[in-house]
Structure 1
């Protein structure tokens, strides 16, 4: 079975004290993951090492710490940036790349993200690669072509072995903070389409790629969404900042 993943994206939230309290609460949950289940915490950069220290003390091997970003170059005069090599050196195992907020607010392009994927993979990190369409694209009915382009431009230079190390997260941007709601059927439809795009290029390898849903997953809808055959967990924003909410999401994994 493909890996089923509950990934928490804390974004730019919480003080150190609040972050430590939240992480302690979630790590204390009495939950024994199945062999194919994982939990990932994408915490703000200042909290990466404290989070790693806490995690190591628990001995949990199916819980991981992720960066929310990494730069596209190995090192150099890039003030304010964090390299994949730096993340690897402290024990970070995952990195979110191409989140809709990075694309919109910081102008990250498919070409830049392809470079980020390469350097992340070269340093042993598992990329959580985000794709998804805004409201204007969904309303025009061109969402399939839009996300297919994102996948093709950023991932299709990878070989089979490299692709197997990538996790994909689909974000229906139009259903986040717009008052519109994406149904589980819409989530399944897009996830199945994404897998078909991968299959045309990589064949059976597509069946091994975990595709997470990133459209306002919460305790109330996680089980229904995760039950979809092509949904392999979620990339969770606001609900991951509440321990009980994220616990319910974790327990909803297939």
Structure 2
């Protein structure tokens, strides 16, 4: 029996929010596995260009696109740029997201809308637009970044928790509707992970130690700790998996 195929050779992936953190790591791992990658963030900056340069070192072809995923014209531009360059889209990783921290009673309408528009509406827009191309191709793979907070509530994160719960349900609905077109849809739900949006927690030694005491594996994850799961879901190794949310949390929810 041959080993499962984790190669992404000559696949084309779009990864939103890929200038740093989880999105950046996924872009580089996919490139190392053989994919050409469209990297995107809300604005063009040196970080995104640096990711593109790292992708080139793997002998792959990056495309850099500035796109605000909350806005349909920007999403249309992102997808059309990928199609114009490569002709196909094999993988979409909906990674872009934001966090707002405050008691629920203090959530302003603008705060709520920003979180929902980025974390949930953005996935809807990207998945619908890319989904049309994947239906035309009769193949594709969508990976959504959810959160353990879409499964287990957390204090002072009402909008975030609700948005990520929505991501998990949208993943399941899309998986049901897209399966007949040979399109798989899954999600990754990270636990405590050292990214920019929660730096205020892990940079505080006392707060970090309190969190790590509740994680059975005993430490906060780095973005690279999600890469095995991301590559698995993007590859043929997971060809019979769809509609699932894989929790990567060091055992926190156990």
Q: TM-score, normalised by structure 1?
A: 0.38
Q: TM-score, normalised by structure 2?
A: 0.38
